[in-house]
Amino acid sequence: MSLQVIGDPVLHSKSPVIHGAMLAALGLDIPYTAHVVRRGELPEYLFWAKTNGVTGFNATMPHKEDLIPLLDEIHPAAKAVGAVNTVCLRHGRWTGFNTDGGGAVAALKDGLGMDPNRLTVTLLGAGGAAKAAALALSQAGAKQVFICNRTLGRAEELCAHDPLKRLTPAAFDVDTLSNLAAKSQLLVNCTNLGMEGCPSQFEDFAFLNALPSAAGVFDLIYHPAETELLAQARRRGLRTLNGLPMLVNQAVLALEHFLDRSLDRRPMAAVATNALRGEGT
């Protein structure tokens, strides 16, 4: 039995650190390694993995969507998102899961003490991470999630995937963001604005002024540990959370799928977080 993370590039991935620490804490001698798989090589990889003792793997760019038609079974949450990040071999069949949304909800509960149930949320972005987070928030009982994107059509497309009809498309300009923030208890950034190495930044942070004083600001970015969005929110007295708890919690959920058993999530998340801190993350 062995586990991997695949992607291209992937050798920078922190998944071996996270999963290695959790497996060690559980007393399990199961190797977890990074494996470069380029776009177009997935069919060959799946055959190789099945014949070489790989019983599960995590997937990152560019494979999360490309895996869908190649797997034997897709979990409903992954099917709704249209992407998988966790794949398990069970009874000779590859089954795909998506733990990003569950990781985001768990991070909110642990990091901000916020249960999505009945919350009104302003969510920025309409890409893959936004879709996973938005659908998970809807499923967890959010009252309404405004999906703000510069290209409104992409926001509308995302909202169309929510069977509960709790997602609402919206524009990304400062006036719209301010109007929506005033109605929201939580703001979630799923864009790459402020990410390390990304030249783009928010043009104006005035919309943060409209958030209620008890609101939370959750940025899925974890490099840097405090984006300018979070710094601006903190200066306004708002509660803030970066993307590290989501990274850790989605990994805990993935490990539950790999082992096909429930784990005590918070101690496992603490083990993974400590391992990352030891790496200087």
Please answer whether residues 85 and 64 qualify as being in contact, where contact means their C-beta atoms are separated by less than 8 angstroms: yes
Residue 64 a catalytic site member: yes
Tell me the backbone φ, ψ of residue 3, rounded to 5 degrees: -125, 155
Report helix, strand or coil for 203: coil
What is d(CA 132, CA 81) in angstroms, rounded to the nearest whole number?
Answer: 6
Joined tokens for residue 231: 């710094």
Nearest to 98 by CA among 122, 131, 127: 131
Among the listed residues 64, 131, 165, 183, the single catalytic one is 64
Whole-number Cα distances in Å, 239 to 188, 191, 245, 275: 12, 19, 15, 25
The verdict on whether omega for the bond into residue 62 sits within 30 degrees of 0, i.e. cis, is yes
Residues 6+ apart with CB under 8 A from 197: none
151 SS3 class: coil
41: burial class by Cβ within 10 Å (0-12, 13-18, 19+)?
Answer: middle
Instruction: Identify the DSSP state of 58.
Output: E
Both structure tokens of 43: 């069919």
Give the span between the Cα atoms of 178 and 209, in whole angstroms.
Answer: 8
| Both tokens assigned to 75 | 């979990």
Q: Among all residues, which ones are annotated catalytic?
A: 64
